[in-house]
């Protein structure tokens, strides 16, 4: 794909849709400096893309009109259709909701389980969050919680620590690891200080930290490392808790996120703290935001019976048709859907193996322009197309399928 890009007058930088940070200052693939060195996630996203691609039905290449009619007929026959994947931009999600309403389908993002760890905590007790810009400009103590967020968001610490903040003396900023691994990507001059939790697991460590910060636990009864961190957190002028819910792949993860949010609420009684829950990759924040704008509910949704309902614990195993939307790479295809008839609207190279009907679509920010919601949830960025492409946007293809359904009715 990078070789193909070099045939065009490429810009110096592009808006990268391959993780939720939506960085707009990365070098264009194949240029100088190297994209792999700047961000491996962006390089991986570009490497996953393929050129061209034609519509197909049952493995046979067909024209778009034939594939559209086949997709519409499959949706019309389905009794429990599911629109899944949802890796794409705002426009695609709007069209997907309209189509789900039209055919009474259920609709859910491929990464919804991870997204709901934050959603359940927010619904249960609220939260205190901030933006990437404010975190970079004001945070004097940054606490990374659990796992290694730079696996999914390689430039996270660069976005938070580089350049020097305008409102904090650079030498006073600290990065602390609470139950987190040493980050793979650490900016020069930034030290990551692990906290000795005295053998406590992450649930108990956060609970102890909350008790210490709220004065309900005597520091002499807690691990020394946690007691010291609690004192520093209470003394901080602007602190930041950072976590990636996708890293919390264990039972009760939403309860852990809820504890983190309540820790923030307690700290804000004395000083100023905020959370930065990392998400947005694969269009998960975009999909949930559009669903909330248009229906009042987050995903998953069910449009059966002419009404819209939110079902957070949906059992989708009875789906008799899957309309898989993958305009962005990196979406996990569900194991239970391997035998389900599948219509795939996917960027070239991203259609799941065995999909009965395939309609190639453009990648937002590569083949076509599109709007995406950034990881902090407060900014919707426009990612312009990088070169002319015959591939249609996913929203256009969904609208054509809806039109074919109407025509056949």
What single DSSP character describes residue 368?
Answer: B
For residue 153, give the DSSP letter. -
The helix/strand/coil state of 90 is: helix
Predicted confidence (pLDDT) per residue in 308-325, tens digit: 999 898 888 899 999 999
Instruction: Quote the strand ranges of 95-251, DSSP E.
Output: 106-107, 141-147, 174-180, 192-194, 239-244
Is 380 exposed, middle or buried, given 0-12, 13-18 or 19+ CB atoms closer than 10 A? middle
* Structural domains in the chain, sorted by start: 53-108+300-368+385-408 (3.40.50), 115-280 (3.40.228.10)
CA end-to-end span of the chain, whole Å?
A: 41
Q: pLDDT at position 6, please?
A: 42
pTM comes to 0.92
Residue ranges in the chain whose pLDDT is less than 70: 1-12, 30-32
User: For position 32, what pLDDT does the model report?
Assistant: 65
Tell me if 321 sits within 8 A of 81, measured CB to CB: yes
What pLDDT sits at residue 166? Answer: 86
DSSP of 325-336: EESSS-PPPPGG
State how far Cα 145 lies from the chain centre.
Answer: 18
């Amino acid at each position: 794909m990078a070789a193909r890009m070099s045939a065009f007058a490429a810009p110096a930088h592009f808006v990268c849709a391959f993780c939720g940070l939506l960085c707009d200052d990365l070098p264009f693939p194949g240029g100088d400096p190297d994209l792999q060195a700047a961000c491996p996630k962006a390089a991986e996203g570009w490497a996953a893309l393929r050129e061209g691609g034609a519509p197909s039905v049952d493995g046979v290449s067909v024209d778009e009109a034939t594939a559209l009619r086949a997709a519409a007929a499959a949706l019309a026959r389905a009794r429990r259709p599911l629109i899944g994947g949802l890796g794409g931009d705002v426009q695609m999600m709007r069209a997907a909701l309209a189509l789900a309403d039209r055919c009474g389908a259920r609709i859910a993002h491929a990464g919804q389980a991870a997204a709901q760890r934050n959603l359940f905590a927010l619904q249960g007790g609220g939260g205190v969050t901030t933006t990437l810009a404010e975190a970079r400009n004001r945070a004097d103590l940054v606490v990374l919680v659990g796992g290694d967020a730079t696996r999914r968001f390689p430039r996270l610490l660069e976005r938070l620590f580089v350049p020097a903040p305008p409102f904090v003396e650079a030498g006073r900023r600290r990065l602390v690891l609470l139950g987190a691994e040493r980050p793979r990507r650490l900016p020069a001059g930034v030290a990551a200080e692990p906290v000795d939790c005295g053998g406590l697991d992450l649930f108990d460590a956060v609970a102890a930290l909350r008790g210490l910060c709220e004065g309900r636990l005597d520091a002499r009864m807690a691990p020394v490392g946690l007691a010291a961190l609690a004192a520093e957190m209470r003394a901080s002028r602007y602190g930041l808790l950072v976590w990636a819910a996708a890293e919390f792949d264990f039972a009760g993860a939403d309860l852990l996120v809820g504890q983190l949010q309540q820790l923030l609420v307690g700290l804000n009684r004395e000083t100023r703290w905020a959370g930065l829950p990392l998400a947005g990759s694969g269009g998960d924040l975009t999909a949930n935001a559009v669903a909330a704008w248009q229906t009042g509910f987050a995903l998953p949704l069910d449009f059966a019976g002419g009404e819209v309902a939110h079902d957070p614990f949906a059992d989708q195993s009875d789906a008799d048709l899957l309309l898989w939307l993958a305009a962005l790479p990196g979406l996990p295809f569900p194991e239970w859907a391997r035998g389900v008839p599948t219509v795939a609207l996917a960027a070239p190279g991203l259609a799941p193996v065995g999909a009965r009907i395939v309609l190639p679509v453009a990648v937002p920010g590569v083949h076509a322009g599109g709007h995406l919601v950034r990881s902090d949830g407060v900014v919707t960025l426009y990612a312009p197309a990088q070169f002319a492409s015959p591939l249609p946007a996913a929203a256009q293809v969904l609208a054509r399928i809806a039109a074919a359904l109407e025509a056949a009715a």
